[in-house]
Structure 1
C-alpha cells in the first residue's frame, strides 16, 4: 500500500506511514505557506484539517451488505426482464421499490454518501462510491415505469432525479478530498517540516489533476436529462411526445456510452487503494452494462422476427387471394 509514497531525504523514519496515509486521503483543508525556496519548493502545503475518525466496523459491514443486496437485486431483475421478453415484465411495477434508484434504496445511498468520509474501514466509499453511483444511474436508465398514471409517474421520476443529483453532490464531498490527497501524495515531496508538509512545483487544486472523475458530471446530467424527457413525453401526450422520442433515444444511448467510459476510466486510473475490491465492483458494473446491451440486442432480434413473421403472413394471404 505504501510503496507509492513519495521518497524524499527529509522524510522522518519515526513518522507513522499509516497515519500519514490517512491524513492525506481524509484532509479537508490544505494550507499553503510562504517559502523562500522558489526553485525546489515554490509551493509548500500542509494539511490543516481532516475528517473525523472512521465509524465502527459494523457500519462498513452494513453498508457492504446493503450495497451487495442492491446490486444482486438489480442483476436478477435485469436477467429476468431479458428472459421474460417484451410482453411480460418481471415483478411489474413493484420492482421499483427494490431497485437502487427506487424510493427505498436511493435515500439510504444518499445517507451513506453523506457520511462517506467516515465509512472507510473495510468498505471505503472514497474508492467504491463511484461504482455505487453508476449502479444507481444504470438502474434509473434501465427500468421505466411508463404504465403509471401521469401524476404518479411524474412524482416518482422527479424524486429519482432529485435523489441522483443529491447523491452526486455528496459523492463529490467524499471523493474530491480523496483525489486531492492522492495528487498531493504522488506529485509532491516531503519537506520534513511536519508529517503532512509537502513541496510542490505547481499549486494544489481541489480534486487534484491525476483523477478527472466527478460525480457531478456530464454522465449524471445526461441521465437526469433522459429522466426529465421521460416526464415530458409522459405528460405531453401522443401529439408532442413523438417529436421528442428521437432526442430521448439519442440521450439514452449516449448516457450508456458515458457510463461505460466512466467505468473503464475508474478501473484504470483510480488511486491504488483496495485494488481487488475496486476491480470486483467495477467488474460488476461492466456486467450490468453487458446485460443491458444483450437485452437491447434481444429486443431488436425479437422485433425483426416479429416483422418478418407479419410479412410472411401477409405474403401468404396475398397468394391465397
Structure 2
C-alpha cells in the first residue's frame, strides 16, 4: 500500500523519536561499561563518554581479586537457578488448582490471594516470622519468602483456562490422574507462559538486594547485589584492601584505580549475566505475556 506524504513524515518522525528514546535509555549503561574499561585516574579528569580514552583491564583484575565478589556471584547464580525453578513449579501448581471451576471455595481462595498481593504484613512482622522459622543467615531465606507470586499465578491460571478442555478430558478417559495431566499434558504445552514467568522471576531474584540486606549478616551468604550496594555506600578501597592484600598492593603501586572505576566494573559483572539471558527467552516473551494476559 502506497503511503501519502503525511504518513511517510509521521512514520519517519516516530522512528526517529523511538531511536532517540532507545539511545537515551541505553547511554547510561554504555557509559558505565566504558568507564569500567578506562583508567580510573583518567576517568577522574572527565570527558569519558562513548569510548574508553585509556583502555585497561585493571579495574576487572582488582575486582576479581576480591574473593567476596566471586562467592557472592556464586550465591546469586545458585539462588537465581534454584529459586526460579521452585517458584515456577509451585506457582504453576497453584495456578493449575485455581483454574479448576470445581475447586471448593475457589472464589474465597482468590480473594485471600488478592489481599496478600496488595497488602503485606510489614517488615517487622516478616522479620519476626523469618526469625521464628530459623531461616536467618541461611541460603533458603533468599528463596522461600518470595517463592509464590500472586500476579504470576494469575497470568499462568489465565493461560491454563485458555487450554482446550478436550486435552484433559481425553487424558481422564485414558485413566490419567490430575498430577499426570499436570506434568504430562499441561506443563509441556505451557512453554511460552512458563518461560516468560521464569524470566520475570529470574530477574527478580538476580536484582534483589533487600532480602540479603535484611536477613543476612554473614559475608559468605550475601548476594552480589547486596554486596554491590555495600560497596557503593562505603569505601571500596578499604573493603578490597582488607580482604585481599595482593589487590591492595597492586592499587598502591599503580595509583590508576579509583572508587568510581571499580564500582562500575563491579556493576557490570553483576548486570551483564542477567542481560544475556534475554535473547534466549525473547521468542517466548511476547507470546507468553499476550496469551496469559488477554485470553480468558
TM-score by length of 2: 0.24
More strand by share: 1
Structure with greater contact order relative to length (CA < 8 Å, sep ≥ 6) = 2
Report which of the two has the higher share of helix. 2
